[in-house]
Each structure stands twice: as C-alpha cells, then as structure tokens.
Amino acid sequence: MAGKFKLTVACGDYEIVRALKDRTVTADGLELIMLTRMGPRERHWRMARRAEFDVCEANVGAYFMERERGAPLTAIPVFLHRRFRHGFLFVNTAAGIRAPKELIGKKIGGTNFQPASNIWMRGILEEDYALPHRQVTWVVERSEDIPFTPPKDLRIEMIAPGKKLDVMLAEGEISAMLSPELPRLFIAGDKRIVHLFPNYKEIELAYFRKTGIFPIMHVTTIKQEIVEKFPWVPTNLTQAFEEAKQIAYRHIADPRTVPLAWVRTALEEQEAVLGRDPWAYGLTPVNRKNLETVLRYTYQQGMISNMLSLDALFAETDLGDAGGSDGI
C-alpha cells in the first residue's frame, strides 16, 4: 500500500465495519489500521485523555463536551452505534416502583454520568415521563471520561470502594439503575432486578413512530490536523464506511450466514419500522433531529454550557449531485 496515508481507526467490532477490517473495502488513498479489540470504556478514555487514535468512535455527548472545550477534533457523520434505551432501566422489585416519576427523590445508579445511553434516557424520562433529572441522586461507580464540574443542583455520588451497583440494586441500597449494558446480576437471573418497562420493545417502537428517532450513541471523530492537511480524507473515509455497511446489510440478509432460525422474519420486521437503512450516515434531516435532540439533552443536563452548531461539529462530506455515477 505504498503511497497511501495511514490512519489508525479505533471502533467497535461491528458487522458494519467488518469489510474494512478484512480489507474487502478500502478507502481511496488511505490505509486503515483497524483497532477493534478495545471495549468502549477503554477506547473513549484513551482518546479523550490521550488522543491516541487518528479516527475514533466516540460517545456523542462526550464529543460535544470536548468540542466546547476547544479539543482539536472534528467528526464525520458516521454513526456506528445506535440503540433504543427504554430496556436498560432496571428497578429493585421490593422498591415497588411502577412508573418513572416514582423515582423522584430516589437514588439511581449508573456506571458514570456521561454515557450516551444515560444522556438519552435521562432526557426521555424527563420529557415523556415527568422525572426531572435534578430531582434524583445519580450514584456512579467510576470517573468520567471528560472531567466536569456538575451544576450545584445536580446530585452525583460516587459509590464506596469495593461496592458494585448491581449488587446495591439487588440489595435495595439504590432504587433503580440506568446502564449502557445489562446488569451482571440481571443476566445471571437474579429475580430482585427487573425492567421498569417490561414491554420495552413495544414502548421503543412507539417512541420511534412518534419521534422518528433511532438514538445515535456514538459519532466518529477525526483529528482536526488531519482534515486541515488532507481535506479529502473525511469524504473518502465516509464513503468507505458506507460501502462496508452495505456489504454488512447484504450479508445479514442471507439466512445461510446468520445462525438464527427466523433471521429473515426479524429483518423484515425491522425494515417495516426502521426502513432499509437504519444506520444511515450523513447529516440528513432525520439524523439532524436525532443529533439536535441529544445535543439539547447534553446541554440541559449541565455537560455543556452552550447549544453548539451541528454544521460546525462535522466535517463536510456531502457531495450533493456530484456523488455517485457520472452517467457517461
């Protein structure tokens, strides 16, 4: 690959990037060194604290925080991780919590305050379920990726050394837990921990039908110095991510390649609701609404002090009618 510009790309080991990882897809003019073995916590921390990678999948809220502070980063509109989050709010069965507003004045656990998953659900709980995030004590178990000073009326407590949030939830020390992943004890079958929304899939479908939002968790950041020196990189990189994603879509559409009995049925069900391209890239009107919503939540929750401009947060990658086939 002589003559190609090398970029380190740190991201999750997703099916939608597999073609980049195995080099079925290459980015024009670029040699991508794909780093996919890190978990999100390690990846986000190493980029936020040490700027170790050229390109990095990053928590969307943390990216907003970094940009407000003048970090030498921009982003391409490639959103590798999305997830509905109503199914990630758990309660202690003995607490008798039946509705989110009953958590007012209670303690809710969370790995830390900044995960995109928690930003989204705090915003949704406040807007749709009358649970103001500043009328709850947020109990966390680790430091933030981006150090920040919470507003005075925002209550955040660090748990004692040796404590675990899922154990605290099971034993009733906290009433609820909002987590990016399923709690360990819940996975193990501990009946003391249950979903607050048992029918979360139905609720998430209703949320999407009402808002059109399939929540964006992560953006793809790139060092500003690279964009300034090589302004063609964001577009070529975005095109490569798109090509890899389309290969992944074709791959999962083949029932011979996915070990699920009703994979085709699941895919048809998803397409009927979310469309043919649920992981759409670009600053489309739908994605703008998505990003503007999580930007507003990040601002309301005290992590940024100003509403930022989306166009200023992303490198220009839209070719307009110059993209695609020349037709000649």
The CATH number given to whatever domain includes residue 113 is 3.40.190.10
Q: How many domains does the chain have?
A: 2
pLDDT digits (tens, 9 = 90+) for 40-50: 999 999 999 99
Residue span of the structural domain in which 154 resides? 86-211
> Within 10 A of 158 (CB to CB), how many other CB atoms are there?
12
pLDDT digits (tens, 9 = 90+) for 278-293: 999 999 999 999 999 9
pLDDT at 110: 94
Where does a domain end: 177, 195, 211? Answer: 211
Assess if residue 307 is contained within a domain: yes
Residue 322 has pLDDT above 90, yes or no: no
Tell me how far the alpha carbon of residue 14 is from its chain's centroid: 13
Range with lowest mean pLDDT among 235-244, 257-266, 282-291: 257-266
Assess if residue 328 is contained within a domain: no
Share of the chain above pLDDT 70, in %: 96
Name 183's Cβ contacts closer than 8 Å, sequence gap at least 6: 90, 165, 166, 169, 177, 193
In 3D, which of 31, 20, 13, 18 has the Cα closest to residue 233? 31
Q: How far apart are CA 223 and CA 52, in angstroms?
A: 10
pLDDT at 201: 97
Tokens of 170: 């099971």
Confidence band for 318, pLDDT divided at 50, 70 and 90: confident
Same domain (yes/no): 206, 95: yes
Where does a domain end: 188, 211, 234? Answer: 211
Same domain (yes/no): 148, 293: no
Span 158-181, mean pLDDT? 95
Same domain (yes/no): 109, 192: yes
Tokens of 234: 């964001």
Same domain (yes/no): 279, 175: no
pLDDT at 328: 43
Where does a domain end: 160, 194, 211? Answer: 211
Same domain (yes/no): 256, 237: yes
Same domain (yes/no): 91, 206: yes
pLDDT at 222: 98
Helical spans, DSSP H, in the chain? 18-21, 40-50, 60-68, 116-129, 165-170, 184-187, 200-211, 224-229, 233-252, 263-274, 285-300, 310-313
Same domain (yes/no): 221, 141: no
Span 9-34, mean pLDDT? 98
> Coil, strand, or helix at residue 152?
coil
pLDDT digits (tens, 9 = 90+) for 102-123: 999 999 999 999 999 999 999 9
When the pLDDT of each residue in the chain is averaged and rounded to a whole number, the result is 95
> Coil, strand, or helix at residue 10?
strand
Confidence band for 327, pLDDT divided at 50, 70 and 90: very low
Same domain (yes/no): 285, 141: no
Same domain (yes/no): 221, 197: no
